[in-house]
Amino acid sequence: MISENKKISLTILTATAAILIAGTASAQPGPMVTFRFDDGLIGQYNYARPVLNKYNFPATTYIFTDPPQAGDWLEYMNWNQIEELHNIYGWEIGGHTKSHPYLTTLSDNALINELSDSKTILESHGFTVKSFASPFGNYDNRTLSFIAKFYESHTSTGPYDFNTFPFNDYGISVQEVRNSTSVATVKNWIDEAVTNKKWLVILFHEIVNLNPTEYEYSKNDFESIVDYVKAKNIPVTTITEALKISNPNLVLNSSFESTTSGWADNWLRTNSLYLNIDINNNGSLPYPKNSLKLIGSATKSNAYTEDFININPSKEYLLKAYFNCQNFTSGGIDVFIDEYDSAGKWLSWKWQTGIWSNYVGTKAITYVPSQNAAKILVWIESASGSNSTCYVDNVILGESLSNVLIISTSLTRSE
């Protein structure tokens, strides 16, 4: 929580959005479309594949593995067809459990089995599996915290919305298409994505030739939508490519995996009673084992990067971290940036983002340096008076790929 002695001033900065090259995109602002399919139904191969292939468009399909493993579920794709989608047509293959259960009804062990066994099966067929979709759109903070141990992203059947950069990897919004969804409605979504420079994920289940039922969509209407995306010249990407961060991470030991005497190398802390390194797999990929554990108390506690991070004040940066906060009653976890000039003189203290309730997922913001900033420190703070236990992992700071419309929140610190 922001303390009363920190004065917030908001500066709205506008700049030109990115130019996306060759119909691809990654972790950046600007319009994008993803065609998403669930369950691995046969119409995705028979009808969606040739339509998308007209323009070499990829898609992401989420496979639950019981049907292809059984080999005799005729309404579902078999392994040869799934492998062809990936190897020849460039589709991403995502995880969707083994048996398509309601995740929130499962015990911890059963949940782990559904998440890990299905991923192992998919990987045995040569797929690099990074993204996951919850069956029936059923999830909560507990299940998200387990998903993050096995997958780099999560999407559901909602919320029905667009994704605004910077993205929450474990809370990707969609617009769902059913048989009653008109082509005009989907075209309006595409227009809005282009106009407002949003990422649109369009969720389909099955594509059929004629007479679609509720969760099916006709091949001809699907083709009209694909043709419209091509006509609008909007980049088409998979889920994982849209979230990919191309620029190097400037934060050393960003996942707290390297430790000495029980504390993270390249990080400092203001106390050792309420700040420690948890080794019980409460973090997120790529290294979920270790994470920064913050225990709320009457005392304000801070962990911060030990060495200066060199920055360029003329560039924008993506600041991002994973939070696993499921035991939250009051207070807050805040992320700040301390700015210094080239001589190491302190300039400002900028609040970036934070958590004030139970939350599992990533928080991200575009950080805009002050005019004379040349060096920074990244701080993670448990506010005084907090009653919470929170795990933080995978702290990322890298150059943003383009300019965006942003809101920069600057604070003046008086100590």
Which residues are CB-contacts of 157 (< 8 A; sequence separation ≥ 6)? 134, 136, 137, 174, 176, 203
The residues pairing with 131 across neighbouring beta strands, listed in sequence order, are 153
**Rounded to 5 degrees, what angle do the CA atoms 294, 155, 334 make?**
25
CA dist 411 and 351 (Å) reads 6
pLDDT along the chain (415 residues), means of 10: 32 29 52 97 98 98 98 96 98 98 98 98 98 97 98 94 95 97 98 97 97 97 98 97 93 98 97 96 97 96 98 96 95 96 96 96 96 98 95 96 36 29
pTM of the model: 0.88
Distances in Å between the alpha carbon of 151 and those of 47, 324, 367? 29, 15, 26
In sequence order, what are the residues at sequence separation of 6 or more whose Cβ sits closer than 8 angstroms to the Cβ of residue 220?
none
Q: What is the pLDDT at residue 28?
A: 65
CB count within 10 Å of CB 328 equals 20
CA 218 to chain CA centroid, nearest Å: 30
Query: Could you give the CA distance from residue 46 to residue 34 in angstroms, rounded to a whole number?
Result: 19
Q: How far apart are CA 19 and CA 25, in angstroms?
A: 10
Amino acid found at 235: P
Q: Which domains does the chain have, with CATH numbers?
A: 7-14+246-412 (2.60.120.260), 32-243 (3.20.20.370)
**Phi-psi label, residue 261: left if phi above 0, alpha if psi -120 to 50, beta otherwise:** left
